[in-house]
A and B are shown apart, each in its own frame.
Chain A
């Protein structure tokens, strides 16, 4: 009995020592909506986490929970991270917004960063990327490469972020060829390789010869590779899944933002902020242009540079809505509020927006 007690005490001491050792380090936690092996959205956030480890080495300790469903479980996972002594917690999906704010209220000393949301508080920042800038560029490439003038677009959920991407893509495409059309299939999931692949097959059967997607897996690209049509990578460079079909990819690069935020925390300068970065902030990066003629690649590079410098804005008027009404006059640019709450299609989308 005494021996048992001694063993238990030793174990407790050991655990306490472990905790004390960890206290010197700044702890950073991540919550991912998908598996880190999705090769898309969560994979790129995990790259950002690894960039933090690389930049700060022994000064930080990171941990993550993957495949966390957007629902009643999210709040528990976020709170568990806060209770495990994390100083800064990144919650990387829109559906984590209200759970993040609830936990943040109970743990005022812990800092939170929520991706793609719109609610902030003293210890909750938000950040998102202007993916639509990349969408405009790939829209132009699609218009150059398509023969059927029809693009198949696999979309996740009809939230403003996704609708904005579809519109930016089509505006880019129409800037080259006004006859370009988009067919959309909603799969109602961020990560469902089976459904994504089925949607890609259906779109190709309906005459699309370019496939693009706003979902997290490379499944659509793999289907395009099989069927011999072109496609784009999403969130990460997916060239190994479509060596003959990927034209380029819109890469989310969170590394710099994550490293900066951790640096701010270490310097004691962390504040609640709202960041919406694009090409200029290097949060959105184009993967190498492959399988396309040099003049198309040059055009894409020029467009990306013009967007980066602010010379070109994808949502500059005149823009017409699907019903024919004018959304914005020539020369004016859609304001941030309209962009953030976008719930209408531009002219040329062959789909009815689920409302």
Chain B
């Protein structure tokens, strides 16, 4: 007896809807089994993990804070991945956006005006876009593999940040500790609710989702992205330029990552420090694929992943479940979602091994 995956002629529309439900059911069952075997009450553990964070306005706001950068970067990446450009360097574009945007509050810290924050966002977008343009140009001019160049440029960005906060941008009142001065009020991202950590970045994320959704579904550019991604040759016949698309995809996704970066330092952090991201640029790759490269899907995927972080922390605090277990549970969730998505394009066939031998 053997299990085989056979490609469907057409993607199954039933499975498109059924697969997330199936994935969540399997996650809950496996999770319950795992928590039970570790000696925790499975129902309570799942409640703390998935339900409790959704019942309290503080954790809902935190959910949005955590999801905003993931969604912003994720929708940008969807342009790259749909057009067959493998941008792995969003973490670097995020960091460069944060660095360029921080010039105002760190170097020109005395300039406090209502224009400070908008200008910082613009600089952040510019930083991310220009840094994203590097792997695009290398690919266009020299045919350099963008997976390698964009990934390795990430380390350039991270070390540049490291150099700045330890050297020229070090806080003069900071006892030589590696961090910039605290941003002034004019340079901080405005909160959406008074005294809340939920900042304007959430709004930016939603706008980006809508804009890119329209780009994909209603514009010629969106059609161009799809055609060049699926069949570059057909794109050529249609007169679309592959080179220009590479630059467009990298610079747009770089700009969005850059905006996420500057908002993260102007929002939750409030200064530049050696570590400004817990790997958002890499996690966003998971988010982009989890959302099936669809902007609306990415919005939900970002929220789901954020929920799994918050739930994991809550489980550690409330139940004493170890960090490793909560990470494993997060892994189970992602595994089932991606595995079940296979059923959209394939169907499972049981083939008896005897029959096979006969052939």
- Measured in the bound complex, the distance between the Cα atoms of B211 and A294 in whole Å is 74
A317: Cβ under 8 A from any B Cβ: no
A63 contacts the other chain (Cβ, under 8 Å)?
yes
CB distance from A64 to the nearest CB of B (A): 7
| B277 CB-CB contact with A under 8 Å | yes
- Whether the Cβ atoms of A29 and B317 lie closer than 8 Å is yes
Instruction: For the complex formed, measure the closest distance between the CB of B320 and the CB atoms of chain A, giving whole angstroms.
Output: 6
Sort chain B's interface into a size bin: 35 or more
Say yes or no: is B357 at the interface (Cβ < 8 Å to chain A).
no
Q: Judge whether A77 is part of the interface by a CB distance below 8 angstroms.
A: yes
The proximity string for A residues 88-99 relative to B, scoring 1 for CB distances below 8 Å and 0 otherwise, is 000000110010
For A340-355 the 0/1 string (1 means CB < 8 A from B) is: 1111000000000011
Q: Contacting B278 at CB < 8 Å: which of A73, A83, A343?
A: A73
Segment 62-97 of A: residues with Cβ below 8 Å from B: 63-67, 69-73, 75-77, 79-81, 83-84, 94-95
CB-based contact A159/B317 at 8 Å: no
Chain B neighbourhood of A355, CB < 8 A: 166-167
Asked if residues B178 and A157 are in contact (CB atoms below 8 Å), the reply is yes
Q: Mark B241-284, 1 if CB is under 8 A from A, else 0.
A: 00000000000000000000000100111110111111000000
Of listed B166, B177, B178, B322, residue having the most chain A CB within 10 A: B177
Contact mask for chain A residues 1-42; partner B; CB cutoff 8 A; 1 contact, 0 none:
000000000000000000000000000010000010000000
Q: Check A269 for interface membership: any CB of B closer than 8 A.
A: no
A98 touches B271 (CB 8 A): yes
Which chain B residues in 171-193 approach chain A with CB under 8 Å?
A: 175-179, 182
> Is A66 in contact with B323, judged by CB distance below 8 angstroms?
yes
B176 touches A341 (CB 8 A): yes
- Smallest CB-CB separation from B274: which chain A residue? A157
B271 to A, closest residue via Cβ: A98
Could you tell me if A65 and B317 are in contact, using CB atoms closer than 8 angstroms?
Answer: yes
Interfacial chain B residues near A67, Cβ < 8 Å:
323
Chain A residues whose C-beta falls within 8 Å of the C-beta of B275 in the assembled complex: 69-71, 95
The answer for the CA separation of A133 and B163 in the assembled complex, in Å, is 30
B126 part of interface (Cβ distance < 8 Å): no
If A63-B320, A72-B264 touch, whether A341 touches B195 (CB-CB below 8 Å) is: no
Contact call A158/B323, Cβ cutoff below 8 A:
no
Which of A35, A72, A118 contacts B175 (CB under 8 A)? A118
* B313 interfacial contact with A, CB 8 Å: yes
User: Which residue of B has the minimal Cβ distance to A337?
Assistant: B175
Residue B337 lies at the interface, judged by CB distance under 8 Å to chain A: no
Evaluate whether A159 and B178 lie within 8 angstroms (CB atoms) in the complex, with A67-B323, A84-B317 already known: yes
| A interface SS class | mixed
Say whether A160 contacts B62, CB under 8 Å: no
Determine the chain A residues whose CB is within 8 A of the CB of B162 once the complex forms: 188
Contact at B277–A64, with CB atoms within 8 Å?
no
Decide if B177 touches A94 in the complex (CB within 8 Å): yes
Q: What is the total number of residues of chain A having a CB less than 8 Å from a CB of chain B?
A: 37
A106 at the interface (CB under 8 A from B): yes
Contact string, B289-316, partner A, CB cutoff 8 A, digits 1/0? 0000000000000000000011001101
Q: How far is the CA of A76 from the CA of B278 in the complex (A)?
A: 13
Interface centre among B167, B176, B182 (most CB of A within 10 A): B176
Question: How far is A157 from B182 in the complex, measured between Cα atoms in Å?
Answer: 21
Instruction: Give the chain A neighbours of B179 by CB distance below 8 A.
Output: 98
Q: How far is the CB of A73 from chain B (nearest CB, A)?
A: 5
The smallest C-beta distance from A104 to any residue of chain B, in angstroms, reads 14
Q: Of B62, B166, B316, which is within 8 A of A63 by CB?
A: B316
**Chain A CB within 8 A of B65 CB:** yes
CB distance from B341 to the nearest CB of A (A): 28
A72 touching B276 by the CB < 8 A rule? Answer: yes
A65 and B178 form a contact (CB under 8 A)? no
Asked whether, in the complex, the Cβ of A83 is within 8 Å of the Cβ of B176, the reply is no
What is the bound-complex CA distance between A75 and B268, given in angstroms?
8
A106 to B166, CA, bound (A): 30
Contact among B59, B177, B267, B314 for A160, CB-based, below 8 A? B177
Contact partners of B177 in chain A: CB under 8 A = 94, 118, 159-160
Complexed CA–CA distance, A80 and B65 (Å)? 14
Measured in the bound complex, the distance between the Cα atoms of B65 and A106 in whole Å is: 18
Contact (Cβ within 8 A) B269 A80: no
Nearest opposing residue in chain B for A86, CB measure: B317
Q: In the assembly, what is the distance between CA of A29 and CA of B318, in Å?
A: 11
| Distance to closest chain B CB from A351 (angstroms) | 15
| A42-75 to B contact mask, C-beta < 8 Å, 1/0 | 0000000000000000000001111101111101
A84 to B315, CA, bound (A): 12
Most interface-central of B162, B267, B310, B313 (chain A CB within 10 A): B313
Contact call A71/B277, Cβ cutoff below 8 A: yes
| Chain B residues within an 8 Å CB radius of A159 | 176-178
List 16 A–B pairs whose Cβ atoms lie within 8 Å, in order of A's numbering.
Answer: A35-B323, A64-B316, A64-B317, A70-B273, A71-B269, A71-B275, A71-B276, A80-B62, A81-B317, A83-B58, A98-B270, A158-B178, A159-B178, A340-B175, A341-B175, A343-B176
6 nearest A-B residue pairs (beta carbon) = A72-B268, A69-B278, A341-B175, A343-B176, A71-B275, A66-B323
Residues of A within 8 A of B (CB): 29, 35, 63-67, 69-73, 75-77, 79-81, 83-84, 94-95, 98, 102, 106, 118, 157-160, 188, 340-343, 354-355
Given contacts A66-B322, A71-B276, A98-B271, 19 further A-B contacts (CB under 8 A): A63-B316, A65-B316, A69-B278, A71-B269, A71-B273, A72-B277, A75-B268, A76-B197, A80-B59, A80-B317, A83-B58, A94-B177, A98-B182, A98-B270, A159-B176, A160-B175, A160-B177, A342-B176, A355-B167
